[in-house]
Amino acid sequence: MSEATGLPARRAALAALAAVDEDDAYGNLAVPAAVEHLEDARDRAFASHLAYDTLRWQGTLDWALQHVLSRPLTDVEPALRRVLRLGALQLLRSGVPSRASVSTSVTLAREAVPARRAQGAGGFVNGVLRNLDRRRDALPWPDPDDDPVASLALTTAHPEWVVRDLLTRYDRDRTRAILEADDAPPGVTLRATGDRDALVAELLAEGLDARPGALPEAVRVPGADPRRLAAVREGRAAVQDEASMAVAHATGARPGDRVLDLCAGPGGKSAHLATLVGEDGHIDAVELHPHRARLIRETAERLGVAVTVHVGDATKPPVPPQASYERVLLDAPCTGLGTGRRRPEVRWRRQATDVADLAGLQRQLLEAAAERVAPGGTLTYSVCTWTTGETEQVARWFDAAHGSRFEAQERRQLLPDADDTDGMYVTTWRRRS
């Protein structure tokens, strides 16, 4: 640590929590931004660990804190609530000595409020965390046999509705394995835009633990910081999970194909598809939000591929009315639970009611996508989640509604435990000639 107290690292972690809480930032963007000013690599690592784990374990931390609070945690002002969560994480899960966990949290609490309230805020946090430290071995954890849902939820840091949904598809042991894998920080995966072997050799020469992934373009680089890699800055590699690469391959895109990529921002899949279809192919990418459309253009330019970007509603794609495509990809808006290894906050932002709402939108988008598929072409549907309502149920609905015109080709659920990827559902249909 750069100081005996480790305060700079904790301040950076708290800043990341505030960005996620107040600005709706993604954890995988907020944390690196908050820690990059720390000069010591150990400080950056410690701050990142504290921030990511506090985001990940928020539900369990809140449960534990509520058992030692005399008022609802929701009544505690947000700045102090974040300090309490960060302190509780250190007491319950990080192996940080109790004294350091409490004393640094008191300092952070005093800094988080106006000076006139600093003493009271510090005393409040000191009392709550000392109480938690005394009572942590007596917390009433649910019995896994009497209440398996609550037990799994608290011991794997996921909302109960997520646990219930997974239990409709998998048994208890597999559900636990999925959720525990979702809690494991992911390594960095790159997509080589050119010669993969040359990229691996370059990264090895830089002293990194680089190795080929399961897909032809994939390179696993655990422990790397992508922002510091020349290959990423110069377009020889793109940061991309293998699940996203699998989606592009599932389309069956070949050199010369015309491809329509709906809901395409921020552009990783569009750029990959452009590589697959080559100079003789064509990619039309549709994105509703202008700032995400701009990211598609920037990604394509950095990686040296051609993508035509259209800003508009994918339920009414803003492309020529009679245009049809050999490949249509719908990477639909979804609950995003499959990104939990990189964006652990997503599990606490979503509610069970979101699933039905999003499934309705997904069906609308599929209706529009189906009208753009040329005879003999393919339609690929992907969502970065595992909920039954957004995956199997949507696919079965499409089978029933369009089975006379479309034949199911492949259906796959990628999961972090078995595949070491994001939790991505992918299904492809071929339009009958």
Active site residues: 384
- For the record, the structure tokens of 153 come out as 């939820």
- For the record, the structure tokens of 10 come out as 């904790």
With 0-12 / 13-18 / 19 or more C-beta atoms within 10 angstroms meaning exposed / middle / buried, residue 373 is buried
Q: Which residues contact 359 (CB under 8 A, 6 or more apart)?
A: 389, 390, 393, 394
Sign of CA dihedral 242, 246, 248, 249: positive
CB 357 within 8 A of CB 308: no
**Max CA pair span of the chain:** 75
Reduce the DSSP state of residue 76 to 3 states and report it.
Answer: coil
**Cα–chain-centroid distance for residue 375?**
35
The answer, yes or no, to whether the previous bond of 266 is cis (omega within 30 of 0) is yes
CB 40 within 8 A of CB 85: no
Backbone angles phi, psi at 379, to 5 degrees: -120, 120
Distances (CA, A) of 181 to 125, 184, 283, 376, 390: 32, 5, 35, 39, 21
The closest of 21, 3, 183 to 93, measured between CA atoms, is 183
CB 310 within 8 A of CB 249: no
Per-position DSSP letters for 85-116, written without gaps between them: HHHHHHHHTS---HHHHHHHHHHHHHHHS-GG
Q: Which residues contact 327 (CB under 8 A, 6 or more apart)?
A: 251, 252, 253, 257, 258, 259, 260, 273, 377, 378, 380
Return d(Cα 276, Cα 249) in angstroms, integer. 8
C-alpha torsion 63→64→70→71, nearest 10: -30
